Structure formats: structure tokens, C-alpha cells
Structure 1
Amino acid sequence: MVLNFTKNYTIPILPKRRDNLNKFSTYIMLTNQNNQLTLQWKHQPSLQRNLKLYEDKHPEFSNLFFHDDKGIDIVNFWRKVASDESQLIADWEPSNKIQLAYEHLASYFEEKCYWAAKDLCKERNANSWEEYLCIARLLVYNPLKLKEILVKYNSESANIDTYITNIITKHIKYSAEVNRFSRWRLLYKKSDKELIEALKVFGIIEPEISLIIFARKYFKQVYLINKVKNPNRTIGKKWIAPEEEDFSKSAQCYNVEKVLSTAPHEVFANFTKVTAKQIQDWMEICIKALESYPISIIPKFSLDAFQSEFEVRSELQTPEIEWEKISSSEDIREQGFLANQANSILSEQLQSMKLDERRILLLYYGFRLNQKQLADRLGINQSTISRYLTKSTIKLLEAIARISQPQQWVKGYVIRWLESEYHAPVHSDLIQAALVSAIKKLVKEEREILQLYYGERMDKIKIASQLGVSLNEIAIRLTQTKNNLQEKLIQEINIWMKEYLEKWLGNYYKSLLKIVLKNEAKSGNKELKLEEKIFLVEIYTQNQLS
């Protein structure tokens, strides 16, 4: 997705919002249509649900909701909710009712941000309305700042709309004059998670999202050294605009690092070298996405701890490893080719084991005793405990292997994936995530030929010419590489099955303990010794088997 960010200083028209539901649950979205910026209202589902909840449960609010007062009474309602932090929360109210109240107010004040920015641009004959709009929105979406503003409001001196508009106008003027606001600080400070969310809402999809995130990583490093930490910069101008040299250096770093195995798969699969112009365009897309999406500009700190909007936090982030992200997600762990059958098969296999085997698994996974503690408790040596655990887990792993039968389907799956999804794998799909991990374990020459054939879609004749080998050699290399990839995928699946089994056993026995101890608590037995707990769980499991 390529967007043209050539400045056009005709300020887009802001559409009107129809009713109170829209006035308190939508935010301004900047979009690019035919190289023209346009504005539209986007719904926040969480705010819509909250409005509907109060309409159903709160009679006073329900009456206000349909008043023809342009929303002023509802503004005052949410202002009272937000300001009274000591109030009791009704059973039906959300636990974050104060936070939601501030977000409803910020949604309503979006229009004031637009008009203040637009009027100020006309007054000053300036070409900065987008920057002014972002400054204003950063203010109203900061609950700490908004709280401070609302506390000082006096209803006798002005209505809330006029008061907020004046505050926003003054804030824009001050921020612009002392250079407190910087689009580049906004880009630099946001986490990858927030940026990815904003990019998705902005309409960017994979694999471009991964390319942009990777590019920002190196842009941030260059920008930090050349601008933020530059001892020659003017005091007070920490977040100045980058120059051509900064983008060029970022592109150099990107192109050097993209071929390494540590680079995200989507980056490696994109063979084209990036230019300084591409890095600059990507960073502009990031800024537009962040400016457009309110969640991405809401500060993540407590209402009770007032912190500076411009406090400097950690300068560099530690890069994440793709497989660690996959393997740490419990939701993803429950997906994939085993999810539908594994639970019942493993339960049956567990129940068919001998009593001694089940007891060791119970103590090891349920009560978290280590092997030495198990040996002491059962009066046998530690090596015997280890053999018991290994034997039991092998039985369970064989049961999973019978379900998955990877040898039968891996070959066809790998070929289909290379042809259709090599550029942008779905990381939430377990097998595709395992394939990405497997590709990273191939040698450089194998990764290169996959990149040329499936990434660049080059035919075998061109690849042979580029690599200086015969056409027959290319065919042989491709076949060998696909075979190696299939083998490494099976290895990854085996690793996953072991991890899956460890997690499954832990969750299985945790649930078992919870059921038994909950039943005992109901009967009045609250304090139980370890031996008593073990005895009760064993009795329970035997009853389940009989």
C-alpha cells in the first residue's frame, strides 16, 4: 500500500454526527482517497456498548440520551462520573467506568479539536492543521490533562463547549510556539503493539506491516543517535524532523539486517532493497496511522499518578523473537491440528496408565514436586522417577502423534504454503508459525533459493543465471531444500507436541485439584495437609475411572 503524502492545505470537511450515540462513541479518522485527505467518523465498539448499557440500566441517563440539547446534558453526566472517583460502582456498571467516562468526553470533544485547529490555521494563515488537530487530540485523550481541565470549569462563566474550545486553542498555540509537540516523538515513543493496531485500522495489511515495523526499528536507532542524543542539537529541540541522511542510514541498516536469520520472515521474503524514500514514506504512514487512531494516543498511565506528557522513557526496545511470541500465547496454543481431538485422547491415555505412573504425574504436574522430592516421598531413587516420567510422556506423545500423523500431510502442506503464503504467513496458525521457524533453521543457500523462487517468483532459468549454476542444479537444490524444510517442520511439530503436552498436563492436574479442593471447601474442610490433598485427588480420580 503506497500513499502519497504531498501536502494539500485544503482542510477536509468534517461530516456531522447524527445523534448522541455517535457524538459520544466515535472518533475522527483521516483517510487518503485519490491523494486527498478526507475525514470520517469511526465507531468505538466499547463506547457504544457502554452507552447502550447506561441507556438500559440508568433511568436518568436514558432520559438525557434523547434530549434535543446537542449533548450538553450528557457531557455534564459523564463529567460528574469522571470527577467523582469515590462513588460506588453498581453491580451492572463496568469496573473501568471512570476511564470510559473520560473516553466518552474525549469522543464528544473531537469536534472541538477539529474546529479549534481549523480556525487557528485560518487566523494564522498557517498550513499546519493536521499537526494542530493532533496536538488537540493528544490533549483531550489524555485523561490526566482532561481531568485537570474539567476540575477548573465554572458553568456560570461559559458553557462547556466554549470553555473546552478556548482551552484547546490556547494549548495548540502554546505547544506550537515552544515546539513541545513533535510528530516524530509520537512515532518514536509508541510501542510496536500500539503501532501495529493503528496500522491495521489505517488499512495496512501483511506483509507490509512487518516491513514497516522492521524499518521503524532501525529508523529509531538512527534518529536516537543523530537527533535525540546529538550533542550539537539546539536545547529544547529534541524531537526535530529527520533529514535525508537519517532515512538513508536507516535504509542501509535495514538492507544489511534483512538477510539475517533474526529478521522477521516477511522481511527476508521481500527481496527488494529499500530506499531512503521508502523508509520516509513508511514513517509518514506510521505517523498518519497513530494520529488517526485514538487508542494509540491515549497515555497508558494511572489517573492517580500525574506524569508529564513528554517524559522520556526507555530509548531502545529489545527485539522480540517470533517463535517466543508464538509459544507464549495460550490462545494460539489451543489452535491448530490437535485442538479438536487432543484433550479426549490424552485423557483416555492417562486413565489407561498404571496407578504408579498416574501418581507420579499427579505429584509432579499437579503438586509441583521436583524429582528429588518425589524420590524421597516414594522411597525410590531419582533415576527411577526420571524413567517413569519419560516413559509416561512418551506414551502420551505417541498418542498425539497418532492423531496428527505429520508424515502423511507435511509434504503437501509445505508445497501449498510456499506457493501461496510464503510472503505473508499467518502467525496465529500453529503450522505456519512452525514453518517460519523451520525456514530460519535452513542454511543460507537454501533460504536464498526459496527467496528467489517463491519470494521473487523468478523462474529457474533466471535463478540459474544469477547464481551461475546449471538449470539441472537449480532443480536439484529446490527439491533438496523442500525436503529439508519438510524434515525441519516435522522437528518443529515434535518440539511443539512436547511443549503442548507439558502445558496440557499442568492444566489437567490444576483443574483436577481445583475441583477436589473446591468440593472440600464447601463441606467445611478449609485447611488440608499435603497428604490429605493427595489422598482426596487420588480417590476422586479412582471414582472417575470406576
Structure 2
Amino acid sequence: MLNQLPILSNLQHLVHRFYMYMTVDNSIGPKAIQWKPELHLQRNIDLYKTQHDQFAALLHQKNEQGLVQFWLDMALNNLPSKYNWEPENRIDKAWGHLTLYCEESCYRAASKVWRENQCKCWEEYIFLARCLIYDPVKFRVILAKYDPNISPLYAYIIEVLRKTIKDEGAVAKFSKWRLLCKKSNKELKEALIRYGICEPEVSRFLFACKYFKQVYQFNKIQNPATRRGQRWVEPDSNDFQEAAQYYNAEKVLAIAPHQVAVGKNVTGEQLQGWMETCITALQNYPQSIAPSISLEVMGAVSCKIESDGGFDVEIEDSTPEQESLCQRTDVVLQHEFLALNDDQKEILYLYYGLGWNQKQIAAKFAVTQGAIARRLHTIERKLINALYSLKQPPQWVTGYVTSWLNYNYETPDYSDLIQAALVTAVKQLNTQSQDLLRLYYGQKLDTNAISNQLHLLPDTVNELLSQTNYELEIALLKELDIMIRNFLNIWLAKQYKNINDYNSNSQSKHLILT
């Protein structure tokens, strides 16, 4: 947390204010605020500088009011008329220029409030200011009320932000418990991660915070005995104990995150420690004031961020092994596809190529709909078995489930479809099986401790663990079967689309030639 205001460095040219944002630099000496360019907005400025004579002339004026009015006219009134060389999203870019222009006003407004009242970290004040200017709805309302005949835009914005910060940042409102209650789950999660908290603790903290907020709201905020102006009072041990009871009761339900369900029950003292950690994380959030931090949080207020090339997203290239598997998959399917008889190929063409339903196909072949359904199933099963021969799931699933239980049970990777399927499979087990997994793989208890807790013989515990592992393997094989079916449907649809496209092109060429 900052105990003094960082120094704001000066910009070399007034036009820089329309495409540069503030960031804290503490690499050398005291903290200072540096300016960094938003690249897609810088490119937009360069475009207008070379293509728009009136805009180029404004760059040579002594103040930026002409540039301000240029972007205001475009953002609010879509003026002047659009030229062919201008970007299609020129209005969005105009709003971006005006938003960054108000960055310095955020600093000035936060500085004024902080000098009057230093009860809160200065970064929290500037965060409140940025929340306002990066909210497209509120920012539009503010600018619509601006009168250039009364004051320059930067002075107008400073006054608006100063009042907003003072209102939002009143001393009574800056209780640390208010901070915890008012922050969204998205903000809290990001703050915890930036503070160094990892899974499964992040999910458990968020789940606990949900019930603490409910208890605190009812016991303290809405309590008639609480005096006005003293709403954000200190919670007592009963509040934490009650929240812990809700946590323990709800963690066994299907709605609870997997990381919560597999963990231990918590006490009131533990939950209080979790909430204190959450508050500390929030108080140190954000640790810099770059827009990338504030802008991510703007999702809570539906702020649209357009990078337009300003941020590069790296996509991991496919490995040679993955490419080889894709190629082998296509070869195997093509081989099996060509080996089908004429009736089977026609059924597939009608179903995937022309989009006929089973009833229509049955009428063409003079058979029942059930017969067509069985033929489709037979064909699909043949193709699925061909895919199974490539990776042989029955051989690797057992080892995969065992490895996942030992190493990823508490912190599954939900971006991995197989791990996500295993989490779903765990929730579908009976209560005893879930308890066994939670105790053995989640809490790392040995079979003797589990047998004492569940009043089972150690041999029975081992048998049940083996049975549970087997149930997860079966569930995973079923899910893989569904995944392969979905992939096969996509492959067949694409196959017949290519055939249709080829036929259409051939007919077009024939018509041209004749």
C-alpha cells in the first residue's frame, strides 16, 4: 500500500494524452507513474495525422481543447462525416481516446481526495476514479453533460471524479468489511491470485466468502439495532461460526465447487482467517495502476475493451505428435468410409449431406425408421471402433484415472475435457464413494484412519476404493465414447459438405463451358 503519492511524469506532447495510460514504475528508487502507449490508439492517431488535414492542424495548437472537441464530436454525434480511409469502429476508438485523455484527471482527482483524507490507500482512490471513466454507460452520461464554454474537459472531469471518490470513499464506507462485501467474485478471485493464493484455496475462499457475506449482511447490515453510520461494524465470533456452519452444510451439495467438496470442514476461526486474507489481498489490489488491471475488472460494469492488435494473444502450436494423430485419424476414417457398401454411403449422404431425418430416409428405402436408426448406429459404431484402435482408451484410461486421483484430484484442470468429465463423474457417485475419495485423495488419510472415521474394516475401505476407481474408469470411457461420437458427427458433416461444394463447383464450371 502506498504511504505517499507517486510522482506523475510529464508528457512530451499534448497529443500523447490521447493514447497513453499510466503505470507505476518502482524499479528504480521511489515509486513514480510512467506513461505507456496503447498501441492501437497510437496507430489511429498516426492515421488521422497523415490523412486528415484539420486534425493535423489541431496538433500544432497550444492546448488540447481542439483535439478534445474533435473526438467528442465523433464519439457523441458521429461527426464529421466518415471518410473511406477511416476505420469502421472509429466511434469506439474516439471513446478510447477520450478515456485515456481522462487518465491524468483520475490522478489529479485522487490526489486531491487523498490529501484531504489519507485513511485509505491512494491506489484505491484512483481505482474508484477509473471505474467511472472505463464504464462506457456512465462515461457517456458524464461527457453528454459537459459544456466546453464553462471549463476545459480535464477540469470538469477532475471535479466529477473528486465528488465520486469522496462519495464512494467516505470514511464510514471504507471499513475493511465493506471492502470485502462490495467487491465482486471476479475482483476477489483476481486479487487472491495476485496475492499468491492458489487452488484449491481460491475456490474455498470464494465459497466461504459467499456465506460470510450473507451472514454479515443479515446480522450486522440489516440489523435494526445497528445505528445509521455504523453499518460496517466488526463481525463477532458468532458471525464466523454461523458462516462456517453454512459452508460445511453446503459443501456436500452438487452446487459446491469440486475443490470445496473434497476439502475438510472448517471452523469459525479458520473462516475468519480466510476472510482476513481476502481483505489483505483486496487492500493490495491492484498492485499497479496499469489499465490492464482496472480494465479486466471493468467486466463487472460491462466495459467493452477493444485491443485491435494492442494485445497479442499467443496460441500454442500443435505438437508433431498431435498433428500426426490428426493425420492418422483422417486416414483411418477415410479408409473405413470407403469400405462402406453403397447403401451405407447413401444413408450417410442423405443424413449428413442433405440433412434428411431418419423418417425420410426410411421412406426412400421402404423400411421402418427403427431400421434406419440401427443402420446408422452400426455405421457409427464401426467408425468409432476404428478411432478406438488409434489410442486404445481401455488400455490408458486406468492409468489416467489413477494419476488424476493422486495428483489432480484437489485441483482439476477444467480446460481439460477429460479432467472435467472426471469431476462430473465424481459428483455422480454415491455419498460413501465421494467420502472415500475426499478422505483418501483430498485429505490424504490412510486406510486405517478412514476405517475409523467411517466405521469400516480396512479391507473394506480398500475394496471400496478399488470399486470407486473402476466406476470412474467406466464413466470416463462412456464420456470418451460421447466425445468421439460428437467428433465423428462433425467429421461426417464436414466430409459431405466438401463433397457438395465439389459437386456445386463442377456443375458451375460445366455451365460456363457450355
- Compute the TM-score of the two structures, normalised by the length of structure 1: 0.68
Q: Is the 8 A contact 2:358 2:372 kept in 1?
A: yes
Q: Kindly provide the CA deviation profile for residues 507-527 of structure 1, in whole angstroms up to 9, marking residues without a partner as x.
A: 5445655665577789999xx
- Contact preservation (8 Å) 2:259, 2:410: yes
Q: Trace 1:273-422 onto structure 2 (pairs within 5 A).
A: 273=266, 275-278=270-273, 280-281=275-276, 284=279, 285=281, 292-297=293-298, 299-300=301-302, 341-422=328-409
| Residue type of the alignment partner of 1:163 | Y
Deviates more, 1:355-364 or 1:421-430: 355-364
Q: How many residues align?
A: 479
Q: Give deviations 1:301-349, integer Å, cap 9, x for gaps.
A: 89xxxxxxxxxxxxxxxxxxxxxxxxxxxxxxxx999756444433443
* Structure 2 match to 1:544: none
Cα shift at 1:408 = 1.6
| Matched letter for residue 427 of structure 1 | Y
Which digits, 9 at most, give the CA deviation of each residue in 1:459-484, with x for residues without a partner?
44544554455555544444443333
For residues 506 and 163 of structure 1, do their structure 2 counterparts lie closer, same or farther at Cα, with a shift above 3 Å needed? same
Deviates more, 1:111-120 or 1:212-221: 212-221
In structure 2, what is the equivalent of residue 98 of structure 1? 91
Instruction: Indicate conservation of the 8 Å contact 2:220/2:226, yes or no.
Output: no
Q: Answer with 1 or 2: which has the greater Rg.
A: 2
- 1:99 and 1:352 map into 2 onto residues whose CA distance is 55
Equivalent residues in 2 for 1:438-449 (5 A)? 438-449=425-436
- Cα distance in 2 for partners of 1:448, 1:277 equals 26
CA distance in 1, matches of 2:361, 2:354: 10
Does structure 2 conserve the Cα–Cα contact (< 8 Å) formed by 1:55 and 1:65? no
Residue equivalent to 1:24? 19
Per the alignment, residue 423 of structure 2 pairs with 436
Query: Partners of 1:286 and 1:340 in 2: how far apart?
Result: 49
The structural deviation recorded for 1:175 is 5.0
Aligned-residue offset at 1:48: 2.6
Query: What is the aligned counterpart of 1:141 among 120, 134, 142?
Result: 134
Q: Secondary structure at the match of 1:121?
A: helix
Flag the 1:202–1:349 CA change in 2: closer, same or farther, 3 A: farther
In structure 2, which of residues 154, 161, 164 is the aligned counterpart of residue 168 of structure 1? 161
**Per the alignment, do residues 467 and 380 of structure 1 end up closer, same or farther by CA in structure 2, a change over 3 Å counting?**
closer
Contact 2:109–2:162, Cα closer than 8 Å, also in 1: yes
How far residue 223 of structure 1 moved from its aligned partner, in angstroms, is 6.6
* CA contact 1:103–1:141 (8 Å) conserved in 2: no
What is the match of residue 323 of structure 1?
Answer: none
Which of 492, 497, 500 aligns to 1:505? It is: 492
Corresponding position: 1:85 with 2:54: no
2:261 is equivalent to residue 259 of structure 1: no
Could you tell me how far 1:138 is from its partner in structure 2?
2.2
CA contact (8 A) 2:336 2:386 kept: yes
Q: Which residue of 2 aligns with 1:312?
A: none
Counterpart amino acid of residue 139 in structure 2: L
Check whether the contact 1:250–1:279 (CA below 8 A) recurs between aligned residues. Answer: no
Native 8 Å contact 2:22 2:34 kept in 1: yes
Please list every run of 5 or more consecutive structure 1 residues that lacks an aligned counterpart in the other structure: 1-7, 32-37, 303-334, 526-546
List per-residue Cα deviations over 1:217-253 (Å, max 9, x = no partner). Answer: 545655776688x59599999x978945665544332
Query: CA–CA distance in 2 between the matches of 1:388 and 1:99?
Result: 54
Q: Unmatched 5+ residue regions in structure 2?
A: 305-321
Does the 8 A contact of 2:5 with 2:122 survive in 1? no
8 Å Cα contact 1:270-1:455 kept in structure 2 = yes
In the alignment, the residues of structure 1 paired with residue 461 and residue 57 of structure 2 have an alpha-carbon distance, to the nearest angstrom, of 73
Shift of 1:405: 0.5
Asked whether the 8 Å contact 2:186–2:297 carries over to 1, the reply is no
| SS, match of residue 118 in structure 1 | helix
2:174, 2:88 → 1: CA distance?
A: 33
Aligned residue runs from structure 1 range 229-244, under 5 A: 243-244=235-236
Q: Per the alignment, do residues 423 and 374 of structure 1 end up closer, same or farther by CA in structure 2, a change over 3 Å counting? A: same
Structure 1, residues 166-187: CA drift from partner, whole Å, max 9, x if none? Answer: 2222333455579999999998
Is the CA contact (8 Å cut-off) linking 1:132 and 1:172 kept in structure 2? yes
SS of match in other structure, 1:398: helix
Q: What residue is the counterpart of 1:533 in the other structure?
A: none
Q: Which amino acid aligns with 1:300?
A: S
1:269 to 262, 268, 271: 262
Cα distance between partner residues in 2 of 1:179 and 1:196: 25
1:112 Cα deviation from its structure 2 partner: 2.2
Separation in structure 1 between the aligned mates of residue 240 and residue 10 of structure 2, nearest angstrom = 40
The equivalent residue for 1:107 is: 100
In structure 2, relative to structure 1, the CA distance for the partners of 1:301 and 1:352 (3 Å cut) is: same
How far apart are residue 164 of structure 1 and its match?
Answer: 1.9
Q: Which residue of 2 aligns with 1:150?
A: 143
| Cα contact 2:295–2:303 (8 A) shared by 1 | no
**1 CA distance for matches of 2:404 and 2:271?**
32
Higher RCO by CA contacts (8 Å cutoff, separation 6 or greater)? 2
Three-state SS of the structure 2 residue aligned to 1:293 is helix
Deviations 1:34-90 (A, max 9, x none): xxxx8977979xx43343355368526897999898987765654454234366666
Task: Return 483-492 or 184-193, whichever deviates more.
Answer: 184-193
Query: C-alpha displacement at 1:383, in angstroms?
Result: 1.8
1:406, CA displacement in angstroms? 1.0
8 A contact 1:22–1:43 mirrored in 2: no
